[in-house]
């Protein structure tokens, strides 16, 4: 993807950056700026207590520290707040993939009674804008939230010193024995598909979307229900291979191999850029 090269060259994101957008919602500075303002606006919650940025905190790779999303009145949902990095290339949205577009996805937490709890007609009346404007602005801003220029990216670009020897061993395991690349592939390190991995304590028998691994070391806890506190816990789960998915099988990783894989995952942390510069 061209934005990976732009990150590596430290080129600011602009209108000529190739970000896929729908025909009826092209990127423009005004819409993105409005979307950014709305993203941080607590008026989008019924009691004016939380904003989109409460659960998708820029300081935490656009997620939060809670195992499951925390809404108004302290209500706790069933899902972890997902990282919303590089979602311009997403095929579907939410952990269960139920939303086909960002324009559809961005308003659902607003209306959800255990999240922001504000019906959309009340939200747009409160802000003095149309629902279409709300959808398009928030979706446009989310499309500009990009992660790249990690040590892993620089290694792929030819900088052989970007990864330590242990991380290079982890990369070999990621691509080989551990089989992570079966689902975590491509520039975004996700196949954007649903898999029943047996992960988590809640709804472990259901399929969920493969999350991108970008900034993964900054995004604990893990799994759709936040039940894995560390990367090592995640690796242990997949090492056991207990899942109803043909891609997942026991790995029999040694302690050294687990450490190498964990160190490689840390190399996927790079820079985050948002908004139009």
What is the DSSP code string of 188-220? TT----EE----SSSSTTS-EEPPP-TTGGGS-
Which residue has tokens 């729908």?
A: 22
- Residue 246 is predicted with a pLDDT of 78
- Residue 9 is predicted with a pLDDT of 37
- Residue 4 is predicted with a pLDDT of 52
209-237 as b/e: b if 16+ CB within 10 A: bbbbbbbbbbbbbbbbbbbbeebeebbeb
Report yes or no: 277 and 33 within 8 Å, Cβ to Cβ: no
Rounded to two decimals, the pTM is 0.92
Q: Which of 216, 193, 221, 223 is nearest to 265 (CA)?
A: 216
Tokens (6 digits) for 65: 């520290």
How far apart CA 54 and CA 60 sit, in angstroms, is 10
Angle between helices 131-143 and 120-127 (to 10 degrees): 90
Residue by residue, pLDDT tens for the chain (277 residues) are 544 544 443 444 444 458 999 999 999 999 999 999 999 999 999 999 999 999 999 999 999 999 999 999 999 999 999 999 999 999 999 999 999 999 999 999 999 999 999 999 999 999 999 999 999 999 999 999 999 999 999 999 999 999 999 999 999 999 999 999 999 999 999 999 999 999 999 999 999 999 999 999 999 999 999 999 999 999 999 999 977 777 789 999 999 999 999 999 999 999 999 998 6
CA 237 centroid distance within chain: 20
How far apart CA 108 and CA 69 sit, in angstroms, is 14
Cα atoms found within 13 Å of the Cα of residue 15, Cβ hemisphere only: 7
Tokens (6 digits) for 143: 């499309």
CA distances from 211 to 38, 126, 191, 216, 256 (A): 25, 34, 8, 9, 25
How far apart CA 164 and CA 150 sit, in angstroms, is 13
Looking at the domain 161-269, which fold is it? Cytochrome Bc1 Complex; Chain D, domain 2 (1.10.760)
Q: Alpha helix locations (H) across 130-230?
A: 131-143, 151-156, 165-175
Looking at the domain 2-146, which fold is it? Cytochrome Bc1 Complex; Chain D, domain 2 (1.10.760)
Q: DSSP 3-state assignment of 222?
A: strand
Equal CATH topology for 2-146 and 161-269? yes
Domain residues of the chain, as ranges? 2-146, 161-269
Report yes or no: 224 and 203 within 8 Å, Cβ to Cβ: yes
């Amino acid at each position: 993807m061209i934005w990976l090269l732009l990150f590596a060259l430290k080129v600011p994101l602009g209108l000529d950056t190739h970000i896929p957008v729908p025909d009826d919602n092209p990127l423009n500075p005004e819409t993105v700026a409005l979307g950014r303002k709305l993203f941080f606006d607590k008026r989008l919650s019924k009691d004016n207590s939380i904003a989109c940025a409460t659960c998708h905190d820029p300081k935490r790779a656009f997620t939060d520290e809670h195992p499951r999303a925390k809404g108004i009145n302290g209500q706790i949902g069933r899902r972890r707040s997902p990282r919303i990095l590089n979602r311009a290339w997403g095929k579907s949205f939410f952990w269960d993939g139920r939303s086909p577009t960002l324009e559809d996805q961005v308003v659902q937490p607003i209306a959800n009674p255990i999240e922001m709890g504000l019906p959309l007609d009340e939200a747009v009346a409160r802000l003095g804008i149309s629902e279409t404007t709300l959808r398009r602005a928030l979706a446009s801003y989310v499309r500009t939230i990009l992660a790249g220029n990690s040590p892993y990216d620089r290694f792929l670009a030819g900088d052989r010193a970007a990864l330590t020897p242990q991380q290079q061993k982890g990369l070999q395991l990621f691509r080989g024995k551990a089989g992570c690349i079966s689902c975590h592939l491509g520039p975004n390190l996700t196949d954007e598909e649903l898999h029943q991995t047996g992960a988590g304590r809640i709804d472990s028998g259901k399929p969920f979307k493969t999350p991108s691994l970008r900034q993964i070391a900054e995004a604990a806890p893990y799994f759709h229900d936040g039940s894995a506190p560390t990367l090592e816990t995640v690796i242990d789960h997949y090492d056991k291979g207990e899942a109803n998915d043909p891609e997942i099988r026991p790995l029999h990783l040694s302690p050294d191999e687990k450490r190498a894989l964990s160190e490689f995952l840390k190399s996927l942390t790079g820079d985050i850029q948002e908004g139009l510069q």
